[in-house]
Amino acid sequence: MDPKSPEAMLQMLRRGQTASADYWRRLVPGCTITDNPFAVAAVPYAVAEALAARHLACLRKEGYFVTPPLLEPAEIETLRACVQTVTAAGHPARYALLFDQFYRVLSRLGGLLGPVLGAQFQMVPDEPDAYDVAAADDAAGTSPHRDSLRTKTSVDLDGTPTLVNVWIPLTDVTPPGSCMYVLPAHADPAYPRALAAPQVDDEDIALRGAELQSVRAVPAPAGSVMCWSTHLIHWGARSSELAPGPRVSFAMYFQSRRAPPYHAFTMDLGTPLPFDYRLYLVEKVVRDPRATSTAWRHLQKYVPPR
């Protein structure tokens, strides 16, 4: 969202309301907001060793993978209803990430992300986001892009990323809805290779010729997990009135300890995440996109209480 847009200004005018944890608790009484969303012990989702190996091989070659459904039906319904309640009240979908239940789901991804990132991987809650893309001709996800959080060292020499984006659909996602599309890494000449990792400046990506023919739709059932390298060209397509329903989803970055922290916000899973810090992370894209505001300096790097 453009920080100078009318929508951003409206959000700033609503600050007195959105800054209250009690407001959000009243809005979504089925979800909770506590100082530590990770306090509840979470059992990792079961991922068979053979499936984890296939995911890793796909990630190294293609730059992404998508799993079968992992989330439990009750989790999917709780998170989907939360996002849609937030958007129905006139707020951007990302405000749903104020609630504990999203982080509890993320804390169960150890069996999935461990084989890629290694033990004790970290969460990078920079610009966490959620989406509620309507089933309408004028509704769309994001345009083709690489994630901005990437460096020349965010892919190992064997093709394994040390930094990934994790995207979780809460509704079935297929064409003609706002399906995810990718240019597979092996078909992208600018994707980092074993001996060269170009840092390309490609905010406006124009695909043509062989690249366009290589584009792949990635349907994903509700409760599955899609994981991709931040160098991967990807986007959420325009939806359609022919789509069976909206596309509801959320996303978060994770990184390996094999690499130094990619962002000041990098933190261990299990670290307390109080409401005011969560609110800053959710609103940063509007209120402090370059993390330079002195008014928010105390929140720009969270220090756990002693």
Taking only the tens of pLDDT, the chain with its 306 residues reads 554 455 655 665 566 778 899 999 999 999 999 999 998 878 999 999 999 999 999 999 999 999 999 999 999 999 999 999 999 998 899 999 999 999 999 999 999 999 999 989 999 998 899 999 999 999 998 889 999 888 877 999 899 999 999 999 999 999 999 999 999 999 998 888 644 444 555 555 778 788 889 999 999 999 999 999 999 999 999 999 999 999 999 999 999 999 999 888 899 998 899 999 899 889 876 665 555 555 544 444 544 443
Contacting residues for 220 by C-beta, under 8 A, at least 6 apart: 66, 169, 172, 173, 180, 226
On whether residue 296 sits in a domain, the answer given is no
Closest Cα to residue 76, out of 101, 97, 40?
101
On whether residue 297 sits in a domain, the answer given is no
Please give the pLDDT value at position 48. 95
Closest Cα to residue 258, out of 166, 157, 125, 162?
162
Contacting residues for 296 by C-beta, under 8 A, at least 6 apart: 280, 284, 287, 288
On whether residue 1 sits in a domain, the answer given is no
Residues 226 and 279: their CA atoms lie apart, in Å, by: 25
Extract the tokens encoding 116: 């890629």
Q: What is the CATH number of the domain that holds 171?
A: 2.60.120.620
Q: Which domain holds residue 70?
A: 6-289
Please give the pLDDT value at position 104. 96
The pTM (predicted TM-score) of the whole model is 0.89
On whether residue 298 sits in a domain, the answer given is no
On whether residue 175 sits in a domain, the answer given is yes
Strand order, beta sheet including 216-218: 216-218, 180-183, 233-236
Peptide bond preceding 219 in cis form (omega within 30 of 0): no
Please give the pLDDT value at position 284. 79
On whether residue 201 sits in a domain, the answer given is yes
On whether residue 305 sits in a domain, the answer given is no
On whether residue 25 sits in a domain, the answer given is yes
Q: What is the dihedral of CA 272, 277, 283, 289, to 10 degrees?
A: -100
Work out how many domains the chain is built from and give that number: 1
User: How many other C-beta atoms can be found within 10 angstroms of the C-beta atom of residue 223?
Assistant: 24
